Amino acid sequence: MGLKIAAGGFLHETNTFVAQPTRWEDFVEAGPWPGATEGEQILTRFRGINLAIAYFMEAAEKAGHTMLPLAWGGAMPAGKVTGDAFERMAGIMVERLKRHRPDAVFLELHGAMVAEDHDDGEGELLRRVRATVGPDVPILMSLDLHANVSPQMVETADFISSYRTYPHVDWGASGGRCAEWLERVLAWKPRPARALRQAPFLVPVTTGCTYLEPSKSLYDELDRIERETGVHLSLNMGFPPADIRDVGPSVTAYGADQASVDAAADRLFAALLAAEAGFAAHRPLAAADAVAEAMRIAKSATKPVVLADTQDNPGAGAPSNTTGLIAELLRQGAERAVVGIVHDPRAAAEAHAAGLGGTVARLGGGGEGPGQEPLEGPWRVAALSDGRFRGTSPMLRAAVATLGPTALLAMDGVEVLVATIRQQPIHKETFSHLGVDLNSRAIIAVKSSAHFRSGFQDIAEKVIVCLSPGVNLEDPASFAFRNIRPGVRLRPQG
Ligand SMILES: [Zn+2]
């Protein structure tokens, strides 16, 4: 049919309890994915990367459509997106939409963006896009599994397809699904029927991992209902550290008629409600217990034990520089332990200045909040790099990661990877590009909640989620919510 389709992306997962705002420069710097990109460059720069826009463009072009590139930008999770950054990106998109006059619009969004002036960042962006293209141009979008979906998003967009995996290995496929369903969306006249169901409880981020129950079975059930009904479904786990009205898990559904859409949404929503006890059953270990357990297992293990330092996960907006777990490894005399990624530009620069075999006085911490006590050295510089490598893990495969100046620092039996650009370890190459043979390590500690599993689960004897002081609190009930809609339990069965 050969449509002209405008395509762009604007992704941010906002932790409103973090003071550090997310500025335009953070979208430009990026880290694990390409930096902010405008216009024609989008057509080439994103090819082959596991991102929704790449898969959408490839599938839509194969179907004979023409791409009209808008802009794409994603920043690491942190505090609210500044008014300047939001207006710049929204402004570029609206201006290009006015010029292009597309037949359809595809947007790669996150779904948990909070801007300084807009609690519902995506809802506001979509409102402007709709006002620009008019009521008859279909708007399709991909969302992250952690989207906090609002009524405005569902009302404004004609189709939502969220990731169905955490780690997000189907990030790109979500864009492919939008292209695949486009013909049906166009046929659902005058506009697709849609439904939104918001859960009456929040779930801890780590429990949404689709390697684990109850999440694994819930996404199997989604596939089953979709196959049986022809209604397109998404199940979003929500992003708890966001003090906004529409925080939390939700189900969205799009289809031909309201009755079938409501029935499919209700079926999946019932499964989500029935899984509440399963979400409540997860019990992470305190750091001291986790290290002791890892050392016990390591005595007879053939593969490394992986510790997930979830409360300092930069993927949830944390600073990624806390020292609690490292201190515990040192205190208990752990051997062959490696930790990463600690965001410490100062220690990385000192290590590069000192050179291999030199020393760095201290690492980590030094900021506000829990777990910020720096660890005194001397730390020996064991390896150095410019922090650039191509990742092979299924999530974000083929993307060139940019850690900035990076160093491996060692003391006693513990090595710590310090880097200049904040991000979580998704790829094994995070460590191996510095010469670290992960299979020879007894313990690998990662500052990540679940994404690390896409690169590390297959080499792990066991994964232990552990709690050391940090701002990405595992228990959502620990956050001081003021704006959440009434009647939502702050933890499953809470
Ligand atoms: Zn996510």
Label the pairing between strands 66-74 and 4-11. parallel
d(CA 444, CA 308): 9
CA 12 – ligand 1 centroid, Å: 10
Cα 423 to ligand 1 centre (Å) = 13
237 CA distance to ligand 1 centroid (A)? 9
Average pLDDT over residues 145-163: 98
Burial class (CB in 10 A: 0-12, 13-18, 19+), 486: exposed
The alpha carbon of 343 and the centre of ligand 1 are apart by a number of angstroms equal to 20
* pLDDT given for residue 368 in this prediction: 84
Q: Read off the pLDDT band of 32 (50, 70, 90).
A: confident
| Position 140 pLDDT exceeds 80 | yes
Distance from the alpha carbon of residue 112 to the mean position of ligand 1, in angstroms: 9
The mean pLDDT of the chain is: 96
Residue 1 pLDDT class (50, 70, 90 cuts): low
- Dihedral (Cα; 366, 368, 371, 375), 10-degree rounding: 10
Asked, as a colleague might, if the bond just before 426 is cis with ω within 30 of 0, I would say no
Q: Cα–Cα distance between 192 and 32 in angstroms, integer?
A: 35
Q: How far is the CA of 298 from the centre of ligand 1 (A)?
A: 31
The predicted-structure confidence for 34-68, as pLDDT tens digits, reads as follows 999 999 999 999 998 999 999 999 999 999 999 99
Per the CB < 8 A criterion, the answer to whether 77 and 12 are in contact is: yes
Q: Where are the domains of the chain?
A: 4-280, 285-473
- Separation of CA 260 and ligand 1 centre (Å): 29
Ligand 1 centroid–CA 145 distance in Å is: 5
> pLDDT tens across 98-126, in order?
999 999 999 999 999 999 999 999 999 99
Tell me how far the alpha carbon of residue 362 lies from the centroid of ligand 1, in angstroms: 32
CA of 169 from ligand 1 middle (Å) equals 11
Hey, what amino acid is at 151? P
The alpha carbon of 105 and the centre of ligand 1 are apart by a number of angstroms equal to 23
State yes or no: pLDDT of 400 exceeds 90: no
Q: What are phi and psi of 301, to 5 degrees?
A: -80, 155
Spatial contact of 66 and 101, defined as CB atoms under 8 Å apart: no
Rounded distance, CA 204 to CA 473, Å?
9
Whole-number Å distance, alpha carbon 221 to ligand 1 midpoint, is 20
Whether the link from the prior residue into 469 is cis, omega within 30° of 0, is no
Half-sphere exposure of residue 137: CA atoms within 13 angstroms, side-chain side: 20
* pLDDT surpasses 80 at 17: yes
* Four-CA torsion 263, 265, 270, 275, nearest 10 degrees: 160
Give per-residue pLDDT as tens, 159-204: 999 999 999 999 999 999 999 999 999 999 899 999 999 999 999 9
CA of 236 to the centre of ligand 1 (A): 9
Q: How far is the CA of 126 from the centre of ligand 1 (A)?
A: 20
pTM: 0.94
Q: What is the pLDDT of residues 358-373, one digit of tens each?
A: 999 999 999 888 999 9
| Ligand 1 centroid from CA 299, angstroms | 34
What CA–CA distance (Å, rounded) separates 60 from 66? 8
Condensed to tens digits (0 to 9), the pLDDT of residues 290-311 reads 999 999 999 999 999 999 999 9
3-state DSSP assignment of residue 438: helix
Residue 75 pLDDT exceeds 90: yes
Contact in structure between 242 and 149 (CB atoms under 8 Å): no
The pLDDT of residue 441 = 98
Residue 325 Cα to ligand 1 midpoint, Å, equals 24
Ligand 1 centroid from CA 143, angstroms: 9
Percent of the chain with pLDDT over 90: 95
What is the CA(412)–ligand 1 centre distance, in A? 35
304-353: pLDDT as tens digits: 999 999 999 999 999 999 999 999 999 999 999 999 999 999 999 999 99
Tell me the pairing of strands 37-38 and 66-74. Answer: antiparallel
CA of 209 to the centre of ligand 1 (A): 10
If you measure from the C-alpha of residue 211 to the centroid of ligand 1, how many angstroms do you get, rounded to a whole number?
14
Ligand 1 center to residue 296 CA distance, Å? Answer: 32
- Ligand 1 center to residue 14 CA distance, Å? 11
Whole-number Å distance, alpha carbon 64 to ligand 1 midpoint, is 31
- Dist. CA 181 → ligand 1 center (Å): 23
The whole-number pLDDT of residue 88 equals 98
Tell me, in angstroms, the distance from the centre of ligand 1 to residue 311's CA. Answer: 15
Q: In angstroms, what is the span from residue 13 Cα to ligand 1's centroid?
A: 8
In percent, how much of the chain has pLDDT > 70?
100
- Tens of pLDDT, residue by residue over 408-464, are 999 999 999 999 999 999 999 999 999 999 999 999 999 999 999 999 999 999 999
Residue 329 alpha carbon to ligand 1 centre in Å: 29
The stretch 278-282 carries a mean pLDDT of 95
